[in-house]
Amino acid sequence: MNLANTNKTKKWLTLPSTLLLALNSSFLTASEDNDLFSLSLEQLLNVEVSSASLTKETLSEAPVPVTVITANMISQSGARNIKDLLVTYVPNITHVEDQNEPNIAARGVFTSSQQKILFLIDGHRLNSRSYSMASPDYAISLDKIKQIEVLRGPSSSIYGNVALTATVNIILKSATELENSKLAVTVGNQGHKQASLTYGKQGDSWDLLAWAQVFSAEGETHAISPQDNYSPNPIVDAEANLGAYQDTNTYDIGAKLNYQDWRIFANTRRSHYVEPFTTGGLSGEGYMYDKIRKYQGTGPGFSYTASHFNVNHSDTLFDWQWHQELYFDQNEVDTVVVTQPTINNALRVYWQERSSGLLTHLSKRIGKWDYLVGLQLDHMKVTDSDFKTSLNGDDYLPADQQTPLLKESSESIYSVFAQVKYRLSERWLANAGARYDQKNRTGSDNIDDFSPRLAIIYQGENGYNFKASYATSFVDATYWNRFSTLSSFRGAQTLKPEKLASLQLTPSIKLPEHQFYGAVNVFYNQLDDFIFRDNYAGENEPNYSNAGELTTWGVELESRITKRNITWHATLGYQAVIDSERFATSGDDINNVPSITANLVTSWPIFEDANASLTVRYIGEQTSPIHIISNGQEISDPYPNQGANFNAPNYKVDDVILLNAALDYQLSNSLNLALTAHNLLDAEYQQGGTTLHPYPQAGRNVRATLSYEF
C-alpha cells in the first residue's frame, strides 16, 4: 500500500470515538415517531428488519451489516432523491458520473448505469431485466417511505441476479403509519418544480396507500469555451447541462392495498435526465441542447418508463408460514443520444421488455432452528427495439442498418434457495443460506451460479454485538451488454457473469443511557470478471468486455449520539485496492472513486414548531485519468497548449467539502414550510466515472416546500 495514502488514512481513522464506534443507522426503529433514543435497551435489541433473511429478525441478528434510513432521517437530511439519501447515510456509497444516467457506486464498483445494486420496493424488484438498471433519481418519491433497508455486501444468496454489491429495499408506509394525507408543492432555483400527493385510507380489514409525484428541473447551464471543450472540432456556443430533468415530466404514481392476508402493489415511474455532454460518437463533448432535434417532444438524455404490478398472499401450509407472489413488469428505454454536435446529429434509441414471475417460500421455527426454503421463476422478453437517426437536425428516420438494435427474444431464470438459523447458545447464533440460479440464455450457452452465505453472530451483554459473515453474489451480463449493435456500445455474446465474494467483520455497541450507538464494519472484497465499457476497443471490436479482477478492503464507520436535544449522525468510509487486473486503478485508489468520504448530519430544535439541520459532506481526492479516444484511436487536441488536456493520465479531482442545510417550520396544525439548500456555499467541483473526463457538478440549489396535511 502507498505510504502517503496510509498516513492520510490514519488521520481519518483516529477520529474521536463518536466516529470510531460508528452507528449502523439501521438500528433506528421502523416507526418514524418512535425514535431510537426513546427506547429501552431491550427494545433496541428487538428492532426488526426483513430484507436480510426474508423473515423478520432483530437487527442484532441480521447476518450482514444493515443500514436503515428512517422517515425522520429523510426529513432531517433535506434529501431531494434516493441518491442523496444513500450517499449521505451509507458509508462507501458514492456518486459517480455517467454519460447520461444518474449513477452511484458501492465500494467502488460501478459501470455506465446503476446495475450493480439491487433496488426493491417492499421486496419487489425495480431493476429492469434486459438492462439491469434501477436509477436512484426523482422517479422514486420520498414522502411514501417508512424506511429504507440497505444490505451492505453481496445478497445473491437471497435475491440472486443483480444483488452484487448491495441491496436497497424501500419499505412503504401503511395508511396507519401515514397518520395524515399530504399535498406538497416545491419550487426552487435551477428551475426545480415538484408536486406530490400522499394519501392514506383504512377500514376494518383493509389499508390503502396511494401516491403521486411529478418533477422537472431546468438544471444549470455552463458555457464551454472551444479551448475547454473535449472535442476535435469544438463548436463556439457549446454548453454543459447539469442536473436537468425536462421536456417530459419525471413522475412516480402508485398504490398499495392490504386486505387481510393479501397485498396488491401497482406503480408506474418515468424519468428523463438530460445528458450533460454528448453520449454517442466520441462522447463528452459540449453541445447545444436547443439545436438537437427532439423526438416526440423529448430532447437528448436517458429516458425510461417502468411499470410494476405485484400481488402476494401470506398463509400457513402444514404449520409452515407460506408466502406466495406473482409479479409483472414492463420497462421501456426511449433515449435521444447526441452523436455529432458540430452538425447536430443524434440517434433515437428504443427498446421494450416485459417480465413476469413467481416467488414462493416457506419458513418455520422448530426448537433452536429456523428454516426457510423457496423457489423463484423469472421470465423476460424483449418485445421491440428500434433506432432512428436525425441528420443536421432533420426529422428522425430509420437508421441505414439491417441489424436491429437488440435481438427480440426471451430469457428465463429458475432458482431455488434455502436458509437455516441455529441458536448455538444464549449468546451465539449461526446463519447459513444459499441460492442456486440457472439461466436460459439467448444466443449462447446457459449459465448457472451457486451463491452461499455464512454468518456467525455474538450477542453480548450491555449492548455489545459482533458478527462475521462471508457471502458471494453474481450479476449476469445484461441483454444490452450482449446484443447491442449501437456503434459506441457494441455488445459481446461471450461475456461471462460478474462475481463478488466478501468477508465482513462488524462489531457494534449500544449505550442507551448515553443515547449513543456505534458500529465498525471491516470488509475484504474479491471481484472477478467485471464487465466494463472498453474505450480502447477497435472499430469492429465489442465495446463491452470482462475485466480481470479487483481485490479491495475497507472500513465503514457509523455513529449517532443525542445530547441536549441535538442529534449528531456521522458516517465515514475508507476503501483501498489490494490488487487489480485490467481494472481502472491507480496504486491504492480505484479510479474516479474517492478513497475517503465522510458525512455529519446535525439536527436540533430551534423552538417548539421549528427544527433545523446541517449536513457536512467530505468527498476525498480522486484519481481520474483523462484520455480522449474513440474506437481505440487517440483524438487530436485542437488547442494543445490551452484549456482542456486530452491526455492527462495522472489527473486528480480535488477533494471538496459540501454543506447542505434544512429548516422545517410548522406554520399551523395542517401547514408546514420546509426550506432546503444543497451545496450551500456554491462550491465548484468535479466528478469522474465512466466518462472520458470528469464532469463539473451543479452549484447551489435552494428549494421551498409548502405542504398541507388533511
Phi (first) and psi of residue 9, to 5 degrees? -65, -40
Residue 535, pLDDT > 50, answer yes
Cα separation, 680 vs 660, whole angstroms: 6
CB atoms within 10 A of CB 364: 17
**Whether pLDDT at 198 is above 80:** yes
What are the residue ranges of helices labelled H in 55-135? 71-77, 82-89
Cα dihedral 95, 98, 102, 104 sign: negative
- In angstroms, the CA 94 to CA 112 distance is 14
Query: H helices of 424-520, where?
Result: 479-483
SS3 at position 239? strand
Going by C-beta distance under 8 Å and a sequence separation of 6 or more, which residues neighbour residue 550?
A: 108, 109, 525, 526, 527, 530, 577, 579, 580, 581, 583, 585, 590
Q: Distance between CA 220 and CA 697 in Å, rounded?
A: 9
pLDDT of residue 545: 87
Please determine, for residue 456, whether its predicted confidence score (pLDDT) is greater than 90.
Answer: yes
Domain with residue 555: its CATH number is 2.40.170.20
CA-CA distance, 438 to 416, in Å (whole number)?
A: 9
**How many other β-carbons are positioned within 10 Å of the β-carbon of residue 180?**
12
How much is the pLDDT for 15?
36
| Mean pLDDT on 138-163 | 95
Number of neighbours of residue 535 by Cβ within 10 angstroms: 18
Q: What angle do CA 579, 551, 492 make, to 5 degrees?
A: 100
CB atoms within 10 A of CB 294: 16
What pLDDT, on a 0 to 100 scale, did the predictor assign at position 501? 98
Lowest mean pLDDT among 49-53, 96-100, 148-152, 620-624: 49-53
Please give the distance of CA 631 from its chain centroid, rounded to a whole number. 30
Residue 365's contacts (CB-CB under 8 Å, 6 or more residues apart) are 371
pTM score of the predicted model: 0.93
How many CB atoms sit inside 10 A of residue 206's CB? 13
Cell 464532469 sits on residue:
695
Is the pLDDT score of 475 beyond 90? Answer: yes
Name the burial class of residue 392, with classes exposed (0-12), middle (13-18) and buried (19+) by CB atoms within 10 angstroms of its CB. Answer: exposed
Give the DSSP letter string of 493-555.
TTPPPEEEEEEEEEEEEEEGGGTEEEEEEEEEEEEES-EEE-TT--TTS-SEEE--EEEEEEE
Question: For residue 311, what pLDDT is reported?
Answer: 98
Are the CB atoms for 565 and 603 separated by under 8 Å? Answer: no
- Mean pLDDT across 190-214: 97
Provide the 8-state DSSP code for 649.
Answer: T
**Separation of alpha carbons 390 and 388, rounded Å:** 7
Does the pLDDT at position 454 exceed 70?
yes
The answer on pLDDT for 673 being more than 50 is: yes
| C-alpha dist (Å) from residue 335 to 115, 392, 620 | 18, 18, 33
Q: Could you tell me which residue, 563 or 476, shows the higher pLDDT?
A: 476
Does residue 112 sit in helix, strand or coil? coil
User: Which residue bears the cell 441478528?
Assistant: 61
Q: Where are the alpha helices (DSSP H) in 115-250?
A: 156-159, 175-178
pLDDT at 43 (0 to 100) = 46
Q: For residue 311, how many other CB atoms are within 10 A of its CB?
A: 15
By the 8 A CB rule, do 575 and 108 touch?
yes
Examine the pLDDT at 511 and tell me if it is beyond 80.
Answer: yes
Provide the pLDDT for residue 464: 92
Tell me the CB-side half-sphere exposure of residue 330, using CA atoms within 13 A. 9
Domain that includes residue 577, residue range: 3-709
Q: 542 falls in which pLDDT band (50, 70, 90)? A: confident
SS3 assignment, position 318: coil
Q: What is the pLDDT of residue 540?
A: 80
User: What is the end-to-end Cα distance of the chain in Å, rounded?
Assistant: 58
pLDDT exceeds cutoff 50 at 39: no
Number of structural domains the chain divides into: 1
Please tell me the number of Cα atoms within 13 Å of 227 on its side-chain side.
4
73 vs 79: CA distance, rounded Å: 9
Report the pLDDT averaged over residues 203-221: 97
Instruction: Check residue 531 and give its pLDDT.
Output: 86
pLDDT score recorded for residue 512? 81
- The DSSP bridge partners found for residue 349 are 335, 387
Nearest to 425 by CA among 470, 465, 457: 457
Q: Which residues contact 557 (CB under 8 A, 6 or more apart)?
A: 15, 19, 20, 21, 22, 91, 518, 519, 520, 521, 570, 571, 572, 573
Percent of the residues in the chain that have a pLDDT greater than 90, as a whole number: 80
DSSP state of 637: P
- Determine the average pLDDT of the residues in 445-455: 96
pLDDT of residue 46: 54
Looking at residue 515, its pLDDT comes to 83
DSSP state of 9: H
What's the mean pLDDT in 37-42? 39
Position 211 scores a pLDDT of: 98
pLDDT mean across residues, the chain: 91
Lowest pLDDT segment from 345-354, 527-536, 635-644, 687-696: 527-536
- Residue 299 has φ and ψ, to the nearest 5°, of -90, -165
Q: Any long-range contacts for 638-641 (C-beta under 8 Å, 24+ apart)? A: 638/226, 638/231, 638/232, 638/233, 638/234, 639/226, 639/227
pLDDT of residue 13: 37
Mean pLDDT of 593-611: 95
3-state SS, residue 5: helix
pLDDT of residue 31: 35
Radius of gyration of the chain (CA): 25
The residue that leads in pLDDT, 55 or 24, is: 55
> CA-based diameter of the chain, in Å?
78
Which pLDDT tens digit goes with each residue over 258-293? Answer: 999 999 999 999 999 999 999 998 999 999 999 999
What pLDDT does 103 receive? 97
Name 341's Cβ contacts closer than 8 Å, sequence gap at least 6. 231, 235, 238, 278, 285, 286, 287, 288
Predicted confidence (pLDDT) at residue 45 exceeds the cutoff of 80: no
Spatial contact of 124 and 306, defined as CB atoms under 8 Å apart: no
Return the number of other C-beta atoms located less than 10 Å from residue 246's C-beta: 20
Strands 103-106 and 182-188: unpaired
Mean pLDDT of 298-309: 97
DSSP 295: B
Residue 562's pLDDT is 87
pLDDT tens per residue, range 560-583: 998 888 999 999 999 999 999 888
- Measured in degrees and rounded to the nearest 5, phi and psi for residue 244 equal -100, 135
pLDDT number for residue 631: 78
Higher pLDDT, 25 or 670: 670
Report the residue count for the chain. Answer: 710
Q: What would the pLDDT profile of 675-709 be if each residue is shown by its tens digit?
A: 999 999 999 999 999 999 999 999 999 999 999 99
C-alpha to C-alpha distance for 255 and 198, rounded to whole angstroms: 10
Lowest mean pLDDT segment, chosen from 94-98, 266-270, 471-475, 490-494: 490-494
The residues with which 455 forms a beta bridge, in sequence order, are 431, 469
Cα gap 345→391, rounded to integer Å: 5
Among 164, 161, 160, which Cα is nearest to 152's? 164
Mean pLDDT over 329-344 rounds to: 96
pLDDT digits (tens, 9 = 90+) for 58-70: 888 999 999 989 8
